[in-house]
């Protein structure tokens, strides 16, 4: 399931809400091909706005966004997006939900179905393919949403606190599922979260946001592939403390 | 089961009290007929066939007006939900058209369409139009933002978003509007016949009133109530089927 990974570049991106309040105040970052960057920060710091602008769901007030060499001027099929809620369609089975991005573009063929089932297997819910969303737990729905976002093998995946509503153990399971899926595909990822441990476990780099700005960047020099035991190592704790300090400093600056 | 038995027992108790009340008080049948007399009149009317043609006319007017009102209400509702600017432009007029008592338009419809079924069907359709319009707009406009963003991210066209997201999501709200419209349709048809009908259960009530035949008026009330309950049950069954097939993905 190898994709064709690409870079993401935001240059001096600002965003002003319709009520005049500032959402983003000149965001600059570049995620290299296959990079996994996490955006962290307190509620209301602009993480989700930044992600939506990067995805083309919101038009920036100024600045530019590029995916690879192509400027972003609206939602693009190069981007898979996972929302805060799984947003599955209740009247479709899990497999039909996963195949939704393909069925909106045309007819679904056997190889699409096979690939969707492979993704569900990697997500650990192949046996639930014919169930309806209301028959699944929250964690299972999140797995289905993750599989749906990858079914078109997008070069870029953007995720907006997708595991925030789940219990700690399910969240850890899903973090491992995500790592497996993304490492298998080589997809470039922006992952928004307010959980420092989650960001440190998943990311190559953490961008700390506060008041619509990126105030700090923290390099995560943990080896890959990553496994659950990593969370209990001293270096992991040190990185988490570093991110936490950066968040506190960021809050102090704004 | 116990609930049904209790309801039936209550009805029987009321009927017995009513019958005894009429018998013991000696009140004139012109004011309040006994249930036994009403049942006899109803039975005679059904056996002789006198009531069937009126039942048929009112049933046809109800269903035609209901269908017309629902189709137009749904289509205009869908257009206004998809075009917010047009909705802002037209909404005051749509609202004004609904504030006007529909029955007050009866004389105009009689002048335009004549005395009879057409005028009653149009009055009924006007009454059914608004619940469908309102519920369609509400349903289509209240699809969660994340799901709309999902369809945007997936590059869905407006038509795909309408047919594959908004309509299935808003189906329970639209079906609730259909249920309300059906109840109003029967009221519209019967009251429409008061003004513009020469046949039908409403027209029969007016004729019975002219003859001071209170017993027949009560018999007609019962017939209208039974017809309303019958239509309502049919709509509930259809609604359940649609929601089940939506759940199974065959919608």
Average pLDDT per 10 consecutive residues for chain B, totaling 251 residues: 83 92 87 92 91 94 96 96 93 85 84 89 92 94 94 94 94 94 93 87 93 93 94 92 70 50
Question: Beta strand pairing status for A8-16 and A22-31?
Answer: antiparallel
Q: Do A92 and B249 touch (CB under 8 A)?
A: yes
Look at the domain A8-78+154-253 and name its fold: Rossmann fold (3.40.50)
- Confidence band, pLDDT 50/70/90 cuts, at residue A11: very high
Q: Do B249 and A79 touch (CB under 8 A)?
A: no
Q: Which of B148, B150, B167, B245 to mutate to test the interface with A (most CBs of A within 10 A)?
A: B150
DSSP class of residue B163? I
Q: Do B153 and A75 touch (CB under 8 A)?
A: yes
Q: Do A104 and B154 touch (CB under 8 A)?
A: yes
Residues sharing a CB contact under 8 Å with residue A236, sequence separation 6 or more, in sequence order: A200, A201, A222, A230
Q: How many CB pairs under 8 A join A and B?
A: 50
**CB-based contact A56:A74 (threshold 8 Å):** yes
- Return the pLDDT at B107: 85
Domain boundaries, chain A: 8-78+154-253
Domain boundaries, chain B: 33-248
- Return the pLDDT at A250: 65
Q: Which of B144, B146, B160 sits opposite A104 (nearest CB)?
A: B160
Interface of A with B in 90-149 (CB under 8 A): 90-93, 96, 100-101, 104-105, 132
Chain A residues inside the 8 Å CB shell of B152: 57, 75
Return the ∠ at Cα A199 (arms to A97 and A159), rounded to 5°: 25
- Confidence band, pLDDT 50/70/90 cuts, at residue A122: confident
- Return the pLDDT at A5: 67
- Look at residue A45 and tell me whether its pLDDT is greater than 60: yes
Chain B contact for A164 (CB, 8 A cutoff): no
Mean pLDDT along residues A120-140: 92
The per-residue pLDDT for range A186-208, each reduced to its tens digit, is 899 999 999 999 999 999 999 99
More confident residue, A27 or A181: A27
The per-residue pLDDT for range A54-96, each reduced to its tens digit, is 999 999 999 999 998 899 999 988 899 999 999 999 999 999 9
Q: ipTM of the predicted structure?
A: 0.89
- Confidence band, pLDDT 50/70/90 cuts, at residue A254: very low
State chain A's maximal CA–CA distance in angstroms: 55
Q: Residue B146 has which token pair? A: 């994340």
Question: Is residue B239 exposed (0-12), middle (13-18) or buried (19+ Cβ within 10 Å)?
Answer: middle
Share of chain A above pLDDT 70, in %: 96
- Look at residue A4 and tell me whether its pLDDT is greater than 70: no
A5: helix, strand or coil: coil
Q: Do B153 and A90 touch (CB under 8 A)?
A: no
**Phi-psi map region of B132: left, alpha, beta (phi>0 left; psi -120 to 50 alpha):** alpha
- Look at residue A126 and tell me whether its pLDDT is greater than 70: yes
The CATH number of the domain covering residues in B33-248: 1.10.3720.10
């Amino acid at each position: 399931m190898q994709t064709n990974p690409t870079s993401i570049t935001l240059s001096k991106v600002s965003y002003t809400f319709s009520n005049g309040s500032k959402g983003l105040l000149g965001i600059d970052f570049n995620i290299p091909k296959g990079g996994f960057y996490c955006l962290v920060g307190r509620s209301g710091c602009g993480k989700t706005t930044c992600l939506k602008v990067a995805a083309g769901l919101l038009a920036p007030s100024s600045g530019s966004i590029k995916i690879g060499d192509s400027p972003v001027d609206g939602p693009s099929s190069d981007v898979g997006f996972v929302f805060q809620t799984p947003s599955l369609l209740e009247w479709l089975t899990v497999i039909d939900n996963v195949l939704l991005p393909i069925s909106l573009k045309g007819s679904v063929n056997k190889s699409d179905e096979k690939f969707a089932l492979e993704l569900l297997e990697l997500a650990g819910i192949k046996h639930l393919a014919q169930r309806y969303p209301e028959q699944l737990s929250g964690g299972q729905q999140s797995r289905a949403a993750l599989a749906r976002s990858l079914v078109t093998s997008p070069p870029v995946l953007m995720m907006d606190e997708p595991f925030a509503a789940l219990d700690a153990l399910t969240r850890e399971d899903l973090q491992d599922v995500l790592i497996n899926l993304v490492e298998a595909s080589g997809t470039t990822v922006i992952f928004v979260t307010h959980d420092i441990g989650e960001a440190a476990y998943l990311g190559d780099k953490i961008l700390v946001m506060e008041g619509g700005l990126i105030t700090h960047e923290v390099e995560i020099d943990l080896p890959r592939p990553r496994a659950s035991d990593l969370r209990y190592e001293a270096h992991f704790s040190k990185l988490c403390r570093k991110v936490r300090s950066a968040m506190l400093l960021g809050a102090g600056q704004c | 089961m116990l609930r049904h038995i209790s309801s039936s027992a209550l009805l029987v108790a009321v009927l017995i009290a009513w019958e005894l009340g009429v018998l013991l008080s000696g009140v004139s049948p012109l004011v309040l007929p006994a249930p036994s007399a009403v049942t006899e009149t109803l039975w005679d009317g059904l056996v002789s066939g006198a009531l069937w043609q009126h039942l048929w006319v009112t049933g046809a007017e109800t269903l035609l007006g209901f269908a017309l009102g629902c189709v137009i209400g749904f289509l205009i509702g869908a257009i206004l939900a998809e075009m917010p600017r047009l909705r802002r432009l037209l909404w005051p007029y749509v609202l004004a058209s609904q504030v006007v008592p529909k029955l007050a338009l009866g004389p105009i419809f009689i002048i335009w369409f004549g005395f009879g079924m057409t005028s009653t069907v149009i009055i009924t359709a006007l009454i059914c139009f608004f619940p469908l319009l309102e519920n369609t707009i509400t349903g289509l406009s209240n699809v969660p933002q994340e799901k709309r963003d999902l369809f945007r991210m997936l590059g869905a066209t407006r038509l795909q978003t309408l047919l594959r997201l908004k309509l299935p999501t808003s189906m329970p709200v639209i079906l609730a509007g259909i249920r309300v419209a059906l109840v109003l349709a029967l009221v519209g048809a019967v009251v429409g016949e008061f003004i513009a009908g020469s046949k039908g259960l409403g027209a029969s009530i007016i004729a019975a009133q002219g003859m001071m035949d209170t017993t027949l008026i009560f018999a007609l009330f019962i017939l209208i109530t039974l017809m309303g309950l019958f239509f309502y049950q049919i709509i509930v069954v259809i609604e359940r089927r649609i929601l089940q097939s939506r759940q199974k993905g065959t919608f």
